[in-house]
C-alpha cells in the first residue's frame, strides 16, 4: 500500500507539471540537479561547479540496487531542472519513478554515452549489462563527456565553464588511472585476485588486471545461498587467497560467512579491509569523492594482497 501511495503521488505531481523548457532563465541562478547516487552527484558537481546545486538521493552506505524512492525524493525529482542517474539498471527499484519523470524533467543516464561494445554483459540477465562502470576510470571519463554535453545543452550560456571544468577533471582522472595501474602492478600476478561481497568489480578487474570473484552477482537483490558460500570458500582455500574484502553498502555478515567456511577447510583468510563499491564515503572526507574512493580502494587492495605476497 505504501508503494502504491508513492506511485499515486508521483502521477499527480507529473500530471501537474508542464513539460518543456524551464520557467525562468537558467543563467540567472544555479541549475537544480538531482542525482540518484553520490557517485553520479560527485561527477556532476565537478563539471557543473558553481553553476549547479546538486542533491543526491542516496547517501553513504546506501545500496542503489535496492533503493526505493520516497515521497520526498519524488518531489525533489519533480522540482529539478535536470536529473542524472547511472543507468544500466543500477537503480532497478527506482525504474518506475525515473521512467515517469522522462518527458517532464530532463533525465540523463550518465552511461548512455558509452559504446555498448565497451560494456560487460550481465551475469544473470540476457541483453543487460554490468552497471558498475565507474570502476574503470577510462569509462568514467566518457561519462564526464556525456554529462558535460547534457549541461551545455541545458545551459549553453555557460558552455565554456562546463568544458573547462570537464577538461580539468579528465586530467585528474588520467592521473588516477595511471596511479591504479602502477599500484596494481606491484602485486605479483598470482596474488592479483579480488574477492568481495558482490560482483561489483568486474570493470576494475578488466582495467587493472585482477581476477575478480563476488559472493553475489552484479545485483544485491538476491542474497547468496549456502551453496554460493561453500563454492567460494573452496575456491579461496584451493587457491590460497590471503585476503577477502567487505563493502560499505553490503552487510559484512556475507563475507564473514565465507571466512568461516574457509576456516573449516583448514585455511585462514583475512578480511583485508573495507571497499567502497556502490556508494561513496562520508561527505567531507577523501572517500566522499570519486577520486578519493578509487584511491582508497586500490590502496586497500594492494596493502592486503601485496603484504601477504
Global pTM value = 0.89
pLDDT at 217: 58
| Residues contacting residue 53 through CB under 8 Å, at least 6 positions apart | 30, 31, 32, 33
**pLDDT for 10 beyond 60:** no
Average pLDDT over residues 24-41: 93
pLDDT at 24: 62
pLDDT-based confidence at 222, cuts 50/70/90?
low
**pLDDT for 63 beyond 60:** yes
**pLDDT for 15 beyond 90:** no
**pLDDT for 85 beyond 70:** yes
> What are the pLDDT digits (tens) for 114-140?
999 999 998 777 889 999 999 999 999
pLDDT-based confidence at 67, cuts 50/70/90?
very high
DSSP string, 231-249: HHHHHHHHHT--EEEEETT
**pLDDT for 207 beyond 50:** yes
The SS3 call for residue 210 is coil
pLDDT at 308: 52
pLDDT at 8: 47
Euclidean distance between CA atoms 1 and 13, whole angstroms: 18
5-9, 139-143, 185-189 — most confident range: 139-143
pLDDT at 252: 87
> What are the pLDDT digits (tens) for 263-294?
999 999 999 999 999 999 999 999 999 999 99
Nearest to 94 by CA among 62, 121, 51, 60: 62
Nearest to 277 by CA among 25, 64, 75: 64
> What are the pLDDT digits (tens) for 160-186?
999 999 999 999 999 999 999 999 999
Amino acid at each position: 500500500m505504501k508503494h502504491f501511495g508513492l506511485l499515486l503521488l508521483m502521477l499527480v505531481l507529473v500530471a501537474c507539471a508542464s513539460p518543456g523548457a524551464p520557467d525562468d532563465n537558467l543563467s540567472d541562478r544555479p541549475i537544480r540537479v538531482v542525482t540518484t547516487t553520490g557517485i553520479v552527484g560527485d561527477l556532476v558537481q565537478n563539471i557543473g561547479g558553481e553553476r549547479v546545486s546538486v542533491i543526491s538521493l542516496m547517501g553513504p552506505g546506501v545500496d542503489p540496487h535496492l533503493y526505493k524512492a520516497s515521497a520526498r525524493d519524488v518531489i525533489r525529482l519533480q522540482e529539478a531542472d535536470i536529473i542524472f542517474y547511472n543507468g544500466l539498471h543500477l537503480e532497478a527499484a527506482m525504474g518506475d519513478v525515473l521512467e515517469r519523470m522522462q518527458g517532464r524533467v530532463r533525465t540523463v543516464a550518465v552511461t548512455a554515452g558509452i559504446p555498448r561494445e565497451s560494456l560487460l554483459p550481465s551475469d544473470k540477465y540476457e541483453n543487460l549489462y554490468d552497471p558498475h562502470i565507474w570502476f574503470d576510470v577510462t569509462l568514467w571519463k566518457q561519462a564526464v563527456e556525456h554529462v558535460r554535453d547534457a549541461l551545455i545543452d541545458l545551459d549553453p550560456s555557460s558552455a565554456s565553464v562546463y568544458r573547462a571544468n570537464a577538461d580539468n577533471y579528465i586530467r585528474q582522472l588520467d592521473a588516477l588511472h595511471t596511479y591504479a595501474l602502477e599500484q596494481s602492478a606491484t602485486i605479483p600476478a598470482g596474488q592479483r585476485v579480488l574477492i568481495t561481497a558482490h560482483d561489483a568489480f568486474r570493470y576494475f578487474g578488466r582495467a587493472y588486471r585482477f581476477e575478480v570473484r563476488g559472493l553475489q552477482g552484479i545485483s544485491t537483490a538476491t542474497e547468496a545461498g549456502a551453496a554460493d558460500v561453500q563454492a567460494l570458500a573452496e575456491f579461496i582455500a584451493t587457491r590460497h587467497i590471503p585476503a577477502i574484502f567487505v563493502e560499505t553498502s553490503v552487510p559484512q555478515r556475507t563475507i564473514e560467512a565465507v571466512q568461516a567456511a574457509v576456516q573449516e577447510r583448514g585455511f585462514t583468510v583475512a578480511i583485508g579491509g573495507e571497499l567502497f563499491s556502490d556508494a561513496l564515503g562520508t561527505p567531507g572526507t577523501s572517500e566522499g569523492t570519486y577520486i578519493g574512493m578509487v584511491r582508497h580502494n586500490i590502496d586497500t587492495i594492494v596493502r592486503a594482497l601485496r603484504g601477504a605476497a
